[in-house]
Amino acid sequence: MSILAVGSRRVAESRLRNMWRWRNAIITFGIGNPVLYLIAVGLGVGSLVEESMPGGIDGIPYLAFIAPALIITAAMQAGQDEVVFPTLAGFIWTKTFYAMRATSLTGAQIAEGVLFAAFGRIVLTSVVYGLVLLLFGAVSISGALGVTALAILTGTCWAATMQAIAASVHDDGGFLSLAGRVIIMPMFLFSGTFYPLSALPLAVQWIGWISPLWHATELGRWLSYGAPTPLWQVCVSVAYLMVLGVGGVVLARRRFERRLTS
């Protein structure tokens, strides 16, 4: 039995062919984004941070502190882009999912195919970002391997969740903008990305506690440079990400099937 059913593979192949048309932009963005972020934030802002905090954060350079958060954020964004836009297009803009469903494909297979293609983009983004981090000296070889694998896992779990959410959207008016302002931006700012979560007022720390980015970043720092992290927190964070991913896959399959057969 293959990992994906034949129908799911056909949908994934279609999506990957579509992505291939944008390969230059994907590759340029995949390389340019980490380089620019690391120069501007890791080295630029990092030099200012280290002037005021000679010991760095957690006793390490600022660049090494933010490296796990940057690669995980990139993987999550890549996964989100590759499931949200195709899902909105398939249901609302071009309605191609309905044409697919008129064949022998099921809604679940269509959902699986879209997610699997997104997984390919997540892997590419994570591997490229991991190599750039390694070249910049932000992580060791073992740290790069660990945080890259974690970024792939987190990006996939987040993509599954966003796919399930996008599958419930019937009117895309303002959805993309709302998702960016209400979900992505607060999560990026309040998940201990640029500074420890403990530096924030307690009144907003709860945003980090429920954010997959915070859980993944804490795990990434633990894997990357051995940040002191209690075992219970490691277990909770891994379980949180897995529940998010499995729950997203189940919900997306059901919503695709229900919407395409109603």
Q: What is the pLDDT of residue 1?
A: 40
Please list the alpha-helical segments (H only) found in the chain: 6-20, 23-37, 46-52, 62-88, 96-101, 107-135, 141-166, 175-178, 185-189, 202-209, 212-225, 231-261
Q: Mapping DSSP to helix (H, G, I), strand (E, B) and coil, where does residue 167 land?
A: coil
The residue segments making up the domain with residue 190 are 6-261
Of the candidates 90, 82, 80, 88, the residue with the CA atom closest to the CA atom of residue 180: 80
Contact assessment for residue 132 and residue 34, using Cβ atoms and an 8 Å cutoff: yes
Tell whether 175 is covered by a domain: yes
Tell whether 1 is covered by a domain: no
Cβ neighbours of residue 245 closer than 8 Å, sequence gap 6 or more? 153, 156, 157, 160, 161
Q: What is the pLDDT of residue 236?
A: 96
Q: Mapping DSSP to helix (H, G, I), strand (E, B) and coil, where does residue 251 land?
A: helix
* Strand partners for 60: 57
Q: What is the pLDDT of residue 45?
A: 66
Tell whether 37 is covered by a domain: yes
Q: What is the pLDDT of residue 199?
A: 82
* Strand partners for 57: 60
Separation between Cα atoms, residue 199 and residue 166, nearest integer Å = 33
Structure-token pair, residue 242: 């897995």
Q: What is the pLDDT of residue 52?
A: 64
Query: Considering the entire predicted model, what is its pTM?
Result: 0.91
Of the candidates 45, 8, 69, 42, the residue with the CA atom closest to the CA atom of residue 214: 69
How many domains does the chain divide into? 1
Per-residue model confidence as pLDDT tens for the chain (262 residues): 455 688 899 999 999 998 888 888 878 777 777 777 777 776 666 666 666 666 667 778 888 898 999 999 999 989 998 999 999 999 999 999 999 999 999 999 999 999 999 999 999 999 999 999 998 888 999 999 999 999 999 999 999 999 999 999 988 777 777 777 778 788 888 888 888 888 888 888 888 899 999 999 999 999 999 998 999 999 999 999 999 999 999 999 999 999 999 7
